[in-house]
Amino acid sequence: MITYASSWAVLGALKSKLLNKEVISSLEKTKDFNQALRILTPYLEYIPSSPSPKNIEHSLNIKYIKSIVKILRFLREDFYIILLLFIKEFDLFTFKVISKSIFYKKEIDRSLLYLDLPFLFFSSKMIDSISTLPDLIQICTKDKLLRKIYLQAFEEFNKDKNFFRFSSYLDREYLRLINNNLIYLDNETKRILKYYIEINILIWIIRLKFIHKEKYPYFYIIEDKSFSYYQILRKILESKSVKEALSFLEEELLRKYKKTQTLQEDNFSQILKDNLYHFCVSKKKPVFYSPLPYICFFLNQKILLQKTFYLINSIYYD
């Protein structure tokens, strides 16, 4: 349940009074995936024929996108923009999955993709016409944000043909657009989105340092000292193990969370402890995508939490 997507699924179920506190309590306590799946099944938008944690996460993310689409029309412009940019993260993820499949000459796993949903760029019809990276690039020129993000990243990818770096280049370019005011955002929205991407970049750096054994893992990701987590970056670069590096990041996120929130949950520290390690790198190789940086981002951003829960509580879901 430590993902923002599943939180939306459960909150939606609570709103419609389909899920009571006793059920949620049992869900929190269960360590059996199949039991948790049975409890969550009524609230998932899509149930795969062979359920796995990966597919369940995808289902909950679809639920999340649809929930946000429902509330976008009620928002004032600044919050509308930031939620729209979060939704576009799913386009960026789809772009990464497709390009990775092409690069490694593997069939595209459609069960991972986010297609044909409101506010998302990619569609099922598009996928049928993509067989090479130039095909993908040509299609992406039709989307303003994707075009801005991939342009420089793809140029560098052509030099080194390193797909893992390519994924980190994409995140770096997203951050560059924000820092250079190439996407219009008010200061508060810019700050929130900037922190969100920077947390993801720190995860990339940890992977590059410990798994890919890069000597200078941050040079081509972080461009200038506008990076907000420089103190944590320094600790990560000096750390001796993956767990130690991730513990520094967890501690910082938890510190910011405690400073801004009043959650009455004594075991929250224990919930967060080692979760970044478990989700991001514990499988001996980089996990291509992990939701944990995003939930950590949400937890340490007071203004976004306040706005989001206000909207959840004030809008009736059909």
78 versus 276: the higher-pLDDT residue is 78
Tell me the pLDDT band of 18, cut-offs 50, 70 and 90. Answer: low
The answer, yes or no, to whether residue 34 has pLDDT greater than 70, is no
pTM: 0.68
- Give the separation between CA 273 and CA 193, rounded to whole angstroms: 24
Please say whether the beta carbons of 54 and 157 come within 8 A. Answer: no
Q: Which of 7, 108, 98, 127 is nearest to 61 (CA)?
A: 7
Q: Quick one: CA dihedral 13, 257, 180, 276, positive or negative? A: negative
Please say whether the beta carbons of 175 and 228 come within 8 A. Answer: no
pLDDT at 123: 92
The answer, yes or no, to whether residue 165 has pLDDT greater than 50, is yes
Per-residue pLDDT of 190-235, as tens digits, reads 776 777 778 777 877 887 787 777 776 665 566 556 677 778 888 8
